[in-house]
Amino acid sequence: MSAWRQAGLNYINYSQIAARLVRQALKADLRVDAVKRDEVNVKFTQWKDGKAISTYAFSILSFHSNFY
């Protein structure tokens, strides 16, 4: 059994932790670019009778970006 599975993690959690550690290990100039890639853009559109009645757009940092 994998060490991450024995620790009670699923693969998604394991890969998020590994990615975060890699980003933290980068030099400062490369870290800035890596943090930008961690941004998530979400767009919600409400529909009624087959027509869009409202749209909401959000730009947020990933939920796990500051988890240590």
- Which helix or strand (DSSP H or E) is residue 43 part of? strand 39-48
Question: What is the model's pTM?
Answer: 0.51
Domain ranges of the chain: 3-59
Q: Who's near 17: CB < 8 A, 6+ residues apart? A: 9
**Tens of pLDDT, residue by residue, the chain (68 residues):** 788 888 899 998 898 888 888 888 999 888 888 877 777 778 889 999 999 999 888 777 654 544 43
Q: How far apart are CA 52 and CA 1, in angstroms?
A: 49
Contact 61, 67 (CB under 8 A): no
CATH class in words for 3-59: mainly alpha
